Amino acid sequence: MNTLSRIYSTEAGELLSQHSTDDLRRKTLQPVSMYSNGKVKSLPLEDRTPVFTPAGIIEAEMVTFYKSGKLKRVFPLNGKLSGYWTQEDEGKLADPLTLETPVGPLCVKVISLCFYETETLRSITFWPGEEPILQTPAGPVRTRIGISFSPEGRIRSLEPAEPTPLQTSIGKITAYDSDAVGINGDSNSLVFDDEGRVAAVSSTLNMITARHYSGAEFVFVPELRDSLCSESEREIVPMRMIFDEQGIEISLRPDSEPSYVDFAEYEISVTPFLPQLDNLSRGLICSV
C-alpha cells in the first residue's frame, strides 16, 4: 500500500480509497477495514472505479474481499441516504449492468454482486424496482430483490415479485413472501434443491390439509396479525414450507414452532386460500 496516495493493491486492481466527503451523497469518511493477516476486508473508493471481477470489469464505489484476498462483493454505488439524498436520487446514478449469469444474460441495475471465493457468481441484489423475468427450474418467474446461485451455477433461491403458481411435491403452491426484505440477494424465500425441485417456499394464498391414516385432519392456513399501518386493520403472515424427501415442515409465523407432516402418514392436499386476498393487498401497501 502507498500511504500517501492511499492506493491499495488488490486482486481487483489498484484501488484508491475514499479520502474526501461531500455535502450530499458521501457525508462521512468510511474507513478501510483490514483482516489480521493484512489483507483488505472492505474498501470504500474515492471515485467510481473500474474493478476487475469474475463477471467482467464493473465500475464500483465499494468492494469487499475474503481473507484470502479474493473479491467477495462489489457495490456500484455507495452513497449515504438521508433527508437530503434519497433512494430516488441515488437511483438516478445507477446504470444497468449487462451480466452473463447461470440464468442467461441480464441487463439490470444492481445494488451489489457477490462472488464465491472460487470466483463463481454467488448472488445478485437488484436495485429497488428492478423485476426481471428469470428462467427457473419451475418456469419463468418475475423476480425482485435478488437471486442466488450454488457454487456449481444452479439457481439456489430468488424472490418472486408477484404471486406465482409453482408445482411442488404436494401440489401447486402460489409463491409470494409479502414480508421479504431487500437487504441482499443471498437468501430468498423461494429455494430450489440441487435437482431443481422446490425445496422451500412462502405463501399467503394457499391452505394445506393433512389427513392422517387414522382419520384425523389438520388444516394449515396463513395467520393474521395487527397491521403496522392502522390499529383497525389486519395483515396476512406468509406461511413458510420446507420440503424434504420424507415430508414437509410448515411454519405459520417466523417465531412459531414448525409442524412436520410425514408423507408416509398423511395424505396432503393444497387448495387456494382466497378469503384474505384483500388483507394481502393492504399488507403490501403497508410494507411499501
Q: Is 124 contained in some domain? A: no
Q: How confident is the model at residue 215 (pLDDT cuts 50, 70, 90)?
A: very high
Share of the chain above pLDDT 70, in %: 91
Instruction: Write out pLDDT tens, residues 222-245.
Output: 988 877 666 667 788 999 999 999
At residue 90, the pLDDT reads: 86
Q: Residue 202: its pLDDT value, please?
A: 96
- Residue 272 in any domain: the answer is yes
Same domain, 164 and 80: no
Q: Would you say residue 123 lies in a domain?
A: no
> How many structural domains comprise the chain?
2
pLDDT band at 285 (very low <50, low <70, confident <90, very high): very low
Q: How many CB atoms lie within 10 A of CB 193?
A: 16
Q: Note whether residue 256 is domain-resident.
A: yes
Nearest to 98 by CA among 113, 86, 83: 113
pLDDT per position as a tens digit, 73-89: 999 999 887 878 888 88
Residue 78 lies in a domain: yes
Tell me if 26 is assigned to some domain. Answer: yes
Say whether both 148 and 66 belong to one domain.
Answer: no
Q: What is the rounded CA–CA span in Å between residue 196 and residue 141?
A: 14
- Both 84 and 183 in one domain: the answer is no
- Which of 45, 69, 95 represents a domain boundary (last residue)? 95
pLDDT value at position 230? 63
pLDDT in tens, 87-111: 888 889 899 999 989 888 999 999 9
pTM (2 d.p.): 0.88
Last residue of a domain, one of 39, 68, 95: 95
Do 200 and 261 share a domain, yes or no? yes
Count the residues in the chain. 288
Quote the Cα angle for 175-199-136, to 5°. Answer: 65
> How many angstroms separate the CA atoms of 133 and 37, rounded?
42
Helix (H) or strand (E) holding 287: helix 277-287
Q: CA-to-CA distance for 160 and 34, rounded, in angstroms?
A: 36
Q: Are 168 and 280 members of one domain?
A: yes
Do 180 and 88 lie in a common domain? no
Domain that holds residue 34: 1-95
In a shared domain, residues 261 and 138: yes
pLDDT at residue 53 greater than cutoff 90 = yes
Same domain, 163 and 223: yes
Classify residue 140 by burial, with Cβ atoms within 10 Å: 0-12, 13-18, 19+: exposed
133-178 confidence digits (pLDDT tens):
999 999 999 999 999 999 999 999 999 999 999 999 999 999 999 8
Type of residue found at 109: K
Residues 6 or more apart whose Cβ sits within 8 Å of residue 54: 71, 115, 119, 120, 121
Mean pLDDT for the stretch of residues 27-54: 93
Pair 160, 268 in one domain: yes
In a domain, 245, yes or no: yes
Regarding whether 88 and 139 lie in a shared domain, the answer is: no
Please check whether residue 228 is in contact with residue 286, taking contact to mean a CB–CB distance below 8 angstroms.
Answer: yes
Assess if residue 114 is contained within a domain.
no
pLDDT at 287: 41
118 conformational bin, left if phi > 0, alpha if psi -120 to 50, beta if neither: alpha
